[in-house]
Amino acid sequence: MSVTTNASDATDAGVPRAKFIEDVAAHVGAGEVDDALSELQKRYSAYKRLEAELQQARIRLSQQLPDVKRSLEAVDVLVEKRDRGEEEGTTVRYQLTEATFADAEVATPESVYLWLGANVMLEYPLDEAKELLEANVKACESGLEANARDLAVIKDNVTITEVNMARLYNWDVTKKKEQGAKSSDGA
């Protein structure tokens, strides 16, 4: 009665792919419909949980990408000024809180400080900062692409599982009607 999967039946994330149940009677066999429905419900719940996790990851990446791009643009400006040999300082506006900004005069910097997360900030030379930020932009973009692919697979699995549950339920209702008709004919 259970649907087995092998490595080729799993997604890139290792999630078993949902299989469409062609023959409901053969799938249920001599077992109980409730057992088959319970198994599908467990898998459905797992897919929905994974879908929610992927959507949260997508939101985080979507929020992170513009910040990283802004930081990269700022470092690019500083690198250009350094490469042109400009000696005068740069006035920058930085965010203190959500709606509060301050201005500062920065002499020609040779390094910048970058937030790495978890309350960690490190100083990087401009060229290394640029490389790091470019790598972070690529990682965010590729993460968003992989996330979109995984979400599409999960949504397909959810749909297939919903259809399978409906088909099992409808098959059970039809079977019970047939048994009811046979028992009323025999009475």
At 115-174, the pLDDT tens digits run: 888 889 999 999 999 999 999 999 999 999 999 999 999 999 999 999 999 999 999 999
- 17 located within any domain: no
Q: How confident is the model at residue 9 (pLDDT cuts 50, 70, 90)?
A: low
Percent of the chain surpassing pLDDT 90: 62
The residue with tokens 């060229």 is 127
Examine residue 21 and state whether it is found in any structural domain, yes or no. no
pLDDT reported for residue 155: 95
Residue 163 in domain: yes
φ, ψ at 180 (rounded to 5°): -65, -40
Q: What is the pTM assigned to this prediction?
A: 0.75
CATH of the domain at 149: 1.10.287.370
Question: Residue 182 domain-assigned?
Answer: no
Asked if pLDDT for residue 41 goes beyond 70, the answer is yes
Q: Using CA atoms, how far apart are residues 64 and 116, in angstroms rounded to an integer? A: 12
Is residue 178 included in any domain, yes or no? no
Which CB contacts under 8 angstroms, 24+ apart, belong to 112-118? Answer: 112/74, 112/75, 112/78, 114/71
The total of structural domains in the chain comes to 1
CB 55 within 8 A of CB 159: no
Strand, helix or coil for residue 22: coil
What interhelical angle do 126-186 and 33-84 show, nearest 10? Answer: 170
The pLDDT tens digits of the residues spanning 80-99 come to 988 888 878 888 888 888 89
Domain for residue 114, yes or no?
Answer: yes
Q: What are phi and psi of 59, to 5 degrees?
A: -60, -45
Domain range for 115 is: 31-84+110-171
In a domain, residue 46? The reply is yes
**Nearest alpha-carbon partner for 34 in 173, 160, 178, 177:** 173
Domain for residue 9, yes or no?
no
